[in-house]
C-alpha cells in the first residue's frame, strides 16, 4: 500500500510544522 509509505512523510511534515510553530511562538513572545 502506498499509504503506509506516505505515513512517515506526513508525520515528518507534521512534526516540522509543530516545531516551526513553537519557534514562531517563542520568537513572538520575546
Strand extents, DSSP E, 1-30? none
> Distance between CA 17 and CA 27 in Å, rounded?
15
- Write out the DSSP string of 1-30: -HHHHHHHHHHHHHHHHHHHHHHHHHHHH-
Q: For residue range 5-23, list pLDDT tens digits in order.
A: 999 999 999 999 999 999 9
Structural domain of residue 5, as residue ranges?
Answer: 1-30
* Confidence grade of residue 28 (pLDDT, cut at 50, 70, 90): confident
- Number of structural domains (the chain) is 1
Give the pTM.
Answer: 0.62
Task: Give the C-alpha distances (Å, rounded to integers) separating 10 from 15, 18, 20, 30.
Answer: 9, 12, 15, 30
- How many residues belong to the chain? 30
* Confidence grade of residue 30 (pLDDT, cut at 50, 70, 90): low
* Confidence grade of residue 1 (pLDDT, cut at 50, 70, 90): low
Amino acid at each position: 500500500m502506498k499509504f503506509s509509505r506516505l505515513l512517515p512523510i506526513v508525520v515528518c511534515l507534521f512534526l516540522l510544522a509543530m516545531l516551526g510553530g513553537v519557534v514562531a511562538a517563542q520568537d513572538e513572545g520575546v
